[in-house]
Structure 1
Amino acid sequence: MSSTEFRVHHTPAEVNARWKAGAVTGLTLAAEHILQVSRQRVPLDDGVLERSGLASVDPSELRAAVSYDTEYAVYQHETQGLRHLAGREWKYLENPAREEAEVVERIIAAAIERAMG
């Protein structure tokens, strides 16, 4: 019978803290990615809607959000048939979020892997 000896260098609390820090970093990077992709598609007139975009993370809940904050942001996002410049579209946030889902997963996973080192 053979035996193997190993030592644990991190407590469970340390491992959890590193994992969570990586997750927060990954969520932040992923939300910024979606924001940048959506900014390329947001309807453009004077740029106010595009500049109102914000990526945020709630570290305690491990949740990320991307939002646009103008009085017409929802109308522009939800109203099909409005005329937009080439490459600009309705569903300017929903479409990138859906299309970039695998990229978002890879961003978050990579950040967690780096944090776990």
Structure 2
Amino acid sequence: MSRAARSRIRWNGDAVLGRARQGAVRGLRLGAEHLLAESRTEVPIAEGTLERSGTSTVDEHELVAGVTYDTPYARRVHEDLSARHSPGRKAKFLEDPANREAAVIGELIAAQVRRALRG
């Protein structure tokens, strides 16, 4: 009769999850900054106030990122499809880049998670 092989397994699940979370936060930050930069190329410019009001944020606890434009008229300008703007500037200046860049943003997040798990 042969002796049964013995092995030990060391579970590092909490450490792995922590690293993945840190990577996700970095990826969300990069993704939100990417979206902000893309949307700034389309935001209508009169005096530049609307463009300068753009910010990106990340809620690290909820793993949610956001891009906002914070002026009293930002929503109206974003939604008014009948307004005339300078060439290259338009309504839906945040929604359109968000839809167009969704795959790029997803890859930015995934790349940071992969990087964190390798380290």
- TM-score, normalization: structure 2? 0.90
Aligned residues: 113
* Distance (Å, rounded) in 1 between the aligned partners of 2:63 and 2:31: 12
User: Which whole-Å CA distance do the structure 2 matches of 1:62 and 1:76 have between them?
Assistant: 29
Q: CA deviation at 1:22?
A: 0.3
Residues 1-117 of structure 1: matches in 2 within 5 Å?
8=10, 11-117=12-118
Q: Aligned letter for 1:95?
A: D
Shift of 1:70: 0.3
Deviation at 1:7, TM superposition (A): 6.1
User: Hey, which bits of structure 1, 4+ residues long, moved more than 2 A?
Assistant: 5-8
Q: C-alpha deviations, 1:54-85, integer Å up to 9, x for none?
A: 00000100000000000110000001111101
- Write the distance in 2 (CA, Å) between the matches of 1:103 and 1:77: 22
Secondary structure of residue in 2 paired with 1:70 = coil
Instruction: Tell me, in whole angstroms, the C-alpha distance in 1 between the residues paired with 2:77 and 2:8.
Output: 59
For residues 72-106 of structure 1, what are the alpha-carbon distances to aligned partners after superposition, in whole Å with 9 as ceiling and x for unaligned?
10000001111101100100000000000110111
Within 2, Cα distance between the matches of 1:80 and 1:41?
13
After superposition, the CA RMSD in angstroms is 1.5
Q: Structure 2: where are the runs of 5+ without partners?
A: none
Identity among equivalent positions (%) equals 46
Shift of 1:11: 1.3
Letter in 2 for 1:71: P
The separation in 1 between residues aligned to 2:51 and 2:8, in whole angstroms, is 54
